Amino acid sequence: MTDESKQTEHERGDTPAIAVRPEFHRDSWTGTREKVFQLQDISVHYGDVPAVKDISMDVLHNNITALIGPSGCGKSTLIRCLNRMNDLIPSARVDGQLLYHGEDLYGPKVDPVQVRKMIGMVFQKPNPFPKSIYDNIAFGPRILKIEGDMDEIVERALRRAALWDEVKDRLHSNAYGMSGGQQQRLCIARCIAVEPDVILMDEPCSALDPISTGKIEDLMLELKQDYSIVIVTHNMQQAARVSDMTAFLIVELTADEQNRWGEIIEYDETEKIFTNPSDPRTEDYVTGKVG
């Protein structure tokens, strides 16, 4: 991926997050890369409290897009918008426009259950069901009535999650008997088994040891060929290792420090973010000076 002719047009005001907003639509070079998500001025409020404001970015097909930033900047809130998991919180309100393959994800006729069939999610703490490994994977296809031999579906999902060899002899044992890394790969396999289009990962490796983390990162790079992945991560090295595009968010405070919300500062190719970021705050964060 080259970036000689790709200059982001943005003007910086003296005070952050007001006046002219930088545009993160990479139309000039995305070319034939299809946009999976188009976010336009997305804001999320929990009741009256803002969580994120004015998020605008495009997520591209077969990319791994990373969201990085300090704690509390709304990365999880943002990623949960993408598969309408925020609907489960009664006080959450999402404003702005979110297009998924050109369709409004929050349109009046859109069923959140259908959305989640196509946009899957892996959570921070592995959450396998209290059932056997086989039933964990089979739950999704059974519910969604996916056709095919269930044994084959389960095997295929476990193979793609690089878990098959480790568990093929104990498919009917309790999923809780596995290690944390295995459980998380089980959750990924469970997600793949329903054949989604996008996989969202909310800090998938933060509860795991480095070896398991490495296995899951390798897995992500493989999965990228068939799915689009959005990952929230605290680990900057991980973002640098696996992602194609990185969005850097920070926490903004009102003058009286009563309200805090998250905003995007920069969204660009990973290489640029980590080697030559445009915003000094990005540079401070990725070099470890702050956060």
Cβ proximity to other proteins, 129 vs 164, nearer residue: 129
143 binds other proteins (CB under 8 A): yes
Contact 245, 67 (CB under 8 A): no
Residue 226 CA to chain centroid, in angstroms?
16
Question: Site residues for other proteins, window 51-110 (CB under 8 A)?
Answer: 83, 85, 88, 90
Query: Which listed range, 18-26, 115-123, 153-161, 247-255, lies at the site for other proteins (CB under 8 A)?
Result: 115-123
Q: At residue 181, what are phi and psi to the nearest 5 degrees?
A: -65, -40
Task: Round to whole Å and give the CA distance between 223 and 97.
Answer: 28
Taking residues 193 to 212 in sequence order and writing x for each that binds other proteins by CB under 8 A, - otherwise, the string is -x------------------
- Output the smallest distance, CB 134 to other proteins, in A: 14
173 binds other proteins (CB under 8 A): no
120 binds other proteins (CB under 8 A): yes
Dihedral of the CA atoms 162, 167, 172, 176 (nearest 10)? Answer: -80
The sheet carrying 198-202 orders its strands as 103-104, 92-100, 35-46, 49-60, 260-269, 245-253, 64-68, 228-232, 198-202, 119-122
Task: Round to whole Å and give the CA distance between 93 and 41.
Answer: 13
- Output the smallest distance, CB 203 to other proteins, in A: 14
Cβ proximity to other proteins, 35 vs 117, nearer residue: 117
Contact 245, 234 (CB under 8 A): no
- Output the smallest distance, CB 272 to other proteins, in A: 32
95 C-beta neighbours (distance < 10 Å), count: 13
- Output the smallest distance, CB 239 to other proteins, in A: 22
Cβ proximity to other proteins, 113 vs 221, nearer residue: 113
Contact 269, 289 (CB under 8 A): no
- Output the smallest distance, CB 215 to other proteins, in A: 21
Residues that bind other proteins (CB under 8 A): 83, 85, 88, 90, 113-114, 116-118, 120-121, 123, 125, 127-131, 139-140, 143-144, 174, 176, 187, 190-191, 194
